[in-house]
């Protein structure tokens, strides 16, 4: 017999999971979405990529037209507004606390099956090949239509957004911490305004090389330059780009403390970046 608790959790998750469709019902692409509030939801960027119109359908069968509020193609996330959807919000957990071996459920709409449930366990919470961002790996089976749906623990806490299957047969999900940071940035527009590439420092430690700087953005206002290597953000070491983004998302009063190296200098420089339009402290 199935676990009654898992059944109740799955039923609640179904009500917070939507179908996300663009194009016609027969010819368009289908995916899933997770409700954040009554009319806001998150899905994968690739689910709505190139869409002129998006339709969102709730578990109860209510169908509304949605608007794309923001997209992060790097993290494969999209935020949608679906006025009138009025679906129950999912509860998000802390992906940083997820351990290998944790039982999980995945909800989605694969191959035309609405609200299908898969179960498995977490295998790892680490970077993927050719990536400098954290992902959650689980042995849950996904299929087309699962993209954008929730990966949740047995308490019903969403710990990731399902994205794809790896070549090794594991499900790849965006951690909930990254999802919540993305939603916060869309709401408040807080960004550093840089393009980064992970590098190794002479001492073997990790750093983030600034490749490009957005004109007029916070980094430029703080006198940062292309070629600078960011070593830490608000005291957080930068093993992944997610670490810098987490420092930005958690910044108090929109102030970001950065330690960085410039040129061949061995000493660390420090700058306080004002992430809003107020003037930043000059790099020293």
Is 46 among the catalytic positions? Answer: yes
Q: Which residues of 184-204 are buried (b: 16+ CB within 10 A; e: fewer)?
A: ebbeeebebbbebebeeeeee
Could you give the C-alpha distances from 21 to 47, 59, 66, in angstroms and in order?
8, 14, 10
Scanning the chain, the segments in alpha helix (DSSP H) are: 4-15, 45-48, 176-188, 218-221, 241-249
Is 147 among the catalytic positions? Answer: yes
Interacting residues of 183 by C-beta distance below 8 A, sequence separation 6+ = 36, 42, 79
Interacting residues of 18 by C-beta distance below 8 A, sequence separation 6+ = 32, 33, 34, 35, 41, 56, 57, 58, 59, 82, 85, 87
Which of these is catalytic: 16, 22, 32, 46?
Answer: 46
Answer for the pair 150, 34: CB distance below 8 angstroms, yes or no: yes
Is 39 among the catalytic positions? Answer: no
CA–CA dist 198, 207 (Å, integer): 6
Which of these is catalytic: 32, 95, 147, 176?
Answer: 147
Which of these is catalytic: 58, 72, 76, 242?
Answer: 76
- Catalytically active residues are 46, 76, 147
């Amino acid at each position: 017999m199935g676990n009654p608790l898992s059944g109740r959790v799955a039923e609640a998750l179904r009500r917070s999971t939507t179908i996300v469709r663009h194009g016609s019902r027969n010819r368009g692409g289908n995916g899933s979405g997770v409700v954040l509030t009554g009319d806001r939801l998150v899905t994968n960027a690739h689910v709505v990529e190139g869409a002129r119109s998006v339709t969102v359908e709730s578990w109860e069968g209510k169908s509304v037209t949605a608007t794309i509020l923001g997209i992060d193609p790097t993290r494969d996330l999209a935020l949608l507004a679906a006025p009138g959807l009025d679906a129950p919000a999912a509860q998000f957990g802390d992906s940083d606390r997820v351990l290998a071996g944790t039982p999980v459920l995945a909800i989605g709409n694969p191959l035309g099956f609405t609200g299908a449930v898969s179960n498995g366990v977490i295998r790892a919470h680490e970077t993927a090949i050719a990536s400098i961002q954290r992902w959650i790996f689980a042995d849950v089976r996904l299929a087309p239509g699962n993209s954008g749906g929730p990966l949740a623990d047995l308490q019903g806490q969403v710990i990731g957004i399902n994205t794809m299957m790896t070549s090794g047969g594991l499900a790849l999900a965006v951690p909930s911490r990254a999802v919540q940071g993305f939603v916060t940035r869309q709401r408040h527009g807080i960004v550093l305004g840089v393009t980064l590439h992970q590098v190794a420092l002479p001492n073997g430690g990790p750093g983030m090389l600034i490749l490009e700087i957005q004109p007029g953005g916070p980094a430029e206002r703080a006198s940062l330059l292309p070629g600078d290597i960011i070593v830490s953000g608000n005291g957080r070491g930068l093993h992944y780009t997610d670490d810098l983004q987490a420092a930005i998302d958690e910044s108090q009063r929109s102030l970001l403390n950065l330690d960085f190296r410039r040129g061949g200098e061995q000493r660390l420089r420090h700058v306080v970046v004002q992430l809003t339009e107020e003037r930043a402290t000059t790099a020293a």
